[in-house]
Amino acid sequence: MRLGFTTFGQLLRAVMVAVVTLSSAGASLHAQEKVAISITVQGHQFRPAEIRAPANTQLEIKVKNLDSAAMEFESVSLRVEKVIAPGSEGVVHVRALAPGRYEFFDDFHQQTRGALVVQ
């Protein structure tokens, strides 16, 4: 198969242009803004217990633990888990999601449950 390059330098330049072009395209995808959502945990309850987010958008869920015990924000459907110390805050990064309802819970206190509704 002949590519039409007469020198190795021409081939190398073409490859470098392709890499830069692909890198630029990838950078613009990664530059996509994230939606930030804040919730708290107090009295072993999520507040609010149901949060909403737009579909096909990366999310940042900021979880503030107001309880005196550690909690673990976990979700099988979101594929995330994060331990948050008492009186502190943690950030859970969630990939862009299709519309649907995604359950989450505190793995240390199973009765503490909530849901993310993606529309």
For residue 41, count CB atoms less than 10 angstroms from its CB and return exposed for 0-12, middle for 13-18, buried for 19 or more: buried
Q: How far apart are CA 117 and CA 103, in angstroms?
A: 9
Q: How far apart are CA 77 and CA 99, in angstroms?
A: 13
Q: Per residue in 5-48, pLDDT tens?
A: 566 666 557 655 655 554 445 544 555 689 999 999 999 999 99
Q: Which residue has the tokens 């999520």?
A: 46
In CATH terms, is domain 35-118 a member of 1.10.260.30? no
Q: Per residue in 68-112, pLDDT tens?
A: 999 999 999 999 999 999 999 999 999 999 999 999 999 999 999
Q: How far apart are CA 106 and CA 65, in angstroms?
A: 11
